[in-house]
Amino acid sequence: MQTKLSVNINKVATIRNARGGNNPNVLQVAMDCERFGAQGITVHPRPDQRHIRYQDVRDLKPLLKTEFNIEGNPISEFIALVLETCPTQVTLVPDGHDQITSNHGWNTRTHLDFLTDVTARFKAAGIRVSIFVGADEEMVEYAARAGADRVELYTEPYAVAMAAAATVSEGSVSAPEGSPEGHRLQAAAIAPFIRAAETARDLGLGLNAGHDLSLDNLAYFHQQIPWTDEVSIGHALICDALYLGLEETIHRYLQQLTD
């Protein structure tokens, strides 16, 4: 089964909100992403509504034809919004009110009771639950104990390590296709994610991944962990679309997920 691409449209809402009004039209962009081949749409509404607003979530639900993934910190307002709109999937993320972006996964062991309760509420409403975790086998195990259907691996450390590996390879005059040291660094970058992904698979959990995945590192991640169910990509994809156009960009990301 091919890994699905879910496009996070938060950055589109950020541009809209910078000027007020409705340009760009977030709803139209979401539908265009689907039309161009994306198999899902992701939004991450935050309490200050600095990008995606709660009303955007309500307006998107009846329009989307692919999977709708709402991610965020399960505070009371977020829980109520998710239960009201009933997306395909909710991704639980432990971000604070003033965070610019998510920068860590759950300590699922410490927060087991809370996550178990929230997960049960969403699953009772027929919503698939994914828990955002670092590449840590124990955190994956406790996500399973909490009743999650999937985990989403927080991939920023992988992206940072892959960028360092690329720098080493590009600096190699004798091996323009990549130096041995560069390949070693790539293998080291993906290793903890493979272990976490294998743990999820062994426990019967589905597997998602997201944060700083890009055209520079997505193909290697998918080659090494081809059983990934879904990747959620926003910032890099929207940045690429400034140069390539949205349709071409989505096609290129989908190509990265082709075996």
The set of catalytic residues is 44, 71, 211
Non-local CB neighbours of 248 within 8 Å, separated by 6+ positions: none
What's the first-to-final CA gap in the chain, in angstroms?
Answer: 10
How many helices and strands in the chain, by DSSP H and E? 11, 8
Three-state SS for 16?
A: helix
Neighbouring-strand partners of residue 72: 92
SS3 letters for 166-220?
HHHHHCCCCCCCCCHHHHHHHHHHHHHHHHHHHHHHHCCCEEEEECCCCCCCHHH
Compute the distance between CA of residue 226 and CA of residue 96 in angstroms, rounded to an integer: 32
Amino acid making up residue 106: W
Q: Copy the structure tokens of residue 103.
A: 């920068």
Judge if the upstream peptide bond of residue 24 is cis by omega within 30 degrees of 0.
Answer: yes
CA dihedral 15, 16, 18, 21 (to 10 degrees): 160
* Strand intervals (E) in the chain: 4-8, 40-43, 67-72, 89-92, 128-133, 150-154, 206-210, 230-233
Helix segments in 20-73, DSSP class H = 26-35, 54-60
